[in-house]
Amino acid sequence: MTSRILLTGGAGYIGSHTHVALVAAGHDVVILDNFANAQRTVPERLEQITGKRVTLVEGDVRDADTLAKLFARHEIDAVVHFAALKAVGESMARPLAYFDVNIGGLSTLLRAMDNAGCRRLVFSSSATVYGIPDEAPTPETAPFRAMNPYGQTKITGEQMLGWLQAANPEWAVGILRYFNPAGAHGSALIGEDPRDIPNNLMPFVAKVALGELPRVSVFGNDYDTADGTGVRDYIHVEDLARGHVLSLEKLLSTRQGHIVNLGTGRGYSVLEVIAAYQRATNRDIPYQITDRRPGDVPIYVARADRAVEVLGFRTEKGLDEMCASSWKWVSGLAGKA
């Protein structure tokens, strides 16, 4: 059955890939984005990939008027709420901006949805809600631990949604805790916006492979992991996008809320990622071991079985495909620069 889905932040990295997956699954999509962290070219790129017109509302998720008009104009069946600020370091320096966009934006959106009678939502959460977890792989039952204002906003968002569902059973919310999204669409038309010097590992490694940065700083090799470097559960952004389709379809067909990790259940170290990128590109990627990055977690790996049970979600693409698609995307951009 075709549904009409609103994607807040739909022009961003994960939102744009989810747009493609939703259109492929036969749904109509409306994007709301203020382009705070997205390229203006994304909507036309999405049209190239899907062969369908993109319905775009340019606006801010904190703007109640824009939302009221949007819900009055389009009959929205469900929302995926991506729009948020997401840089951990920036959140330490500018917590109020994070409270405003991530918590204020969510609250404004929920009010507008409730007024419009649209009560199905998929929420972008993060493994960061687990802080430094006691167990790896980490199950969804692990306790919340805020390590920074960004993480706090995801915990608060999840808790708000829990209270809302408790107050009114009409609400059905899918909370998706992403591990480390990586890679790009196979067409290389969309990917992660590489505007600034990246904080995250794979986009940084990509810039070293391109020769735009001299070397990767490996943040510590004295963790209690096989090679001493940090271990993460990298998930291909196209797999992640498919997870949203499954979550939405579950909410639309059953009205059952869920909280699931989206990861592969397999971890890779920083050195393994560098080696995989080297293989994918056939380029030398110099690195040096530096101090640990303050606040870093040694190991983040998802317990991935609940996503299989509840959503039938299984990842299909591995680290090599993440590196290859990332490279196709960033080298294509560099070619055009």
Catalytic residues: 150
Taking the complex as a whole, the smallest distance from the CB of residue 284 to ligand NAD amounts, in Å, to 27
- Minimum distance of ligand NAD from residue 281's CB (angstroms): 22
Q: Which of 91, 180, 247, 264 binds ligand WQD (CB under 6 A)?
A: 180
- Check binding of 235 to ligand WQD (CB under 6 A): no
Residue nearest to ligand WQD (CB): 230
Question: Residues in contact with ligand WQD, total (CB under 6 A)?
Answer: 19
Tokens of 230: 């940090």
User: Which one-letter DSSP state was computed for residue 99?
Assistant: I
Q: Can you state the percent helix, strand and coil of the chain, rounding each to 5?
A: 45, 20, 40
Chain positions 244 to 283 lying near ligand WQD, rule: CB under 6 A, are 270
Which residues of this chain interact with ligand NAD, rule CB under 6 A? 8-9, 11-15, 32-38, 60-62, 82-84, 86, 101, 105, 124, 126, 178, 181, 193
Nearer to ligand WQD, 171 or 327 (CB): 327
Answer for the pair 138, 303: CB distance below 8 angstroms, yes or no. Answer: yes
User: Which distant-in-sequence residues (6+ apart) come within 8 Å of 190 by Cβ?
Assistant: 16, 17, 20, 42, 45, 46, 49, 184, 329
State yes or no: residue 218 binds ligand WQD (CB under 6 A): yes
Return d(Cα 127, Cα 262) in angstroms, integer: 9
Contacting ligand WQD (CB under 6 A), which of 17, 19, 86, 250? 86
- Which is nearer to ligand WQD, 128 or 281 (by Cβ)? 128
Q: Residue type for 192, please?
A: E
The three-state secondary structure class of 223 is coil
- Least distance (Å) from ligand NAD to the CB of residue 156? 13
Torsion-angle region of 74 (φ positive above 0: left; ψ -120 to 50: alpha; else: beta): beta
The smaller minimum CB distance to ligand NAD, of residues 204 and 228, is found at: 204
Q: Which does 323 bind (CB under 5 to 8 A by kind): ligand NAD, ligand WQD, none?
A: none
Q: Tell me which residue has tokens 């807040």.
A: 8
Q: Which is nearer to ligand WQD, 43 or 174 (CB)?
A: 174
Strand residue runs (E) in 141-232: 172-178, 180-182, 216-219, 231-232
Q: Which of ligand WQD, ligand NAD, none interacts with 124 (beta carbon under 5 to 8 A by kind)?
A: ligand NAD
Contact (CB, 8 A) for 193 and 184 = no
Q: Which of residues 100-139 bind ligand WQD (CB under 6 A)?
A: 126, 128
For residues 46 and 284, which CB has a smaller minimum distance to ligand NAD in the complex? 46
Q: What are phi and psi of 153, to 5 degrees?
A: -65, -35
Nearest-approach distance from CB 310 to ligand NAD, in angstroms: 19
